[in-house]
Amino acid sequence: MSRQYKTLTGTYNEEDLAVVVWMNPKAKNSRQSRALETMTSENSRYPMAFPLASLKRNRSWVNATIAKTKEEVFELIQKTERTKPLLVPLSVAKVALGWENFYIPSEYTDA
């Protein structure tokens, strides 16, 4: 069963929200660097989730690939970078990345 998140902007299913992830270029040269990077908020250390529809309207991410399965995450993640990230729906991020907690802003705005 898909979890729902209620915000001031609306109600979203896990499949409607995604995290933006890319490979950390520093991880190649440092054992202490994390392999993946994602967007966070000053309000939380958890990966920030965004509505997929908003991400696809954003100029920076309009061409970003959406990973719809665990297998797609593993296949596509190696080719990512900050300017070419991977969009991962929360339900897929839980399975593929092992992430359980996400920062869901109380309101979303399109910038």
> Is residue 6 very low, low, confident or very high in pLDDT (cuts 50, 70, 90)?
confident
Long-range pairs for 5-10: beta carbons < 8 A, 24 or more residues apart? 5/49, 5/104, 7/104, 7/105, 7/106, 7/107, 7/108, 8/106, 8/107, 9/51, 9/107, 9/108, 9/109
What's residue 27's pLDDT?
60
Given a cut of 90, is residue 33 above it in pLDDT? Answer: no
For the stretch 48-79, pLDDT in tens is 999 998 888 888 888 889 999 999 999 999 89
Annotated domain spans of the chain = 17-97
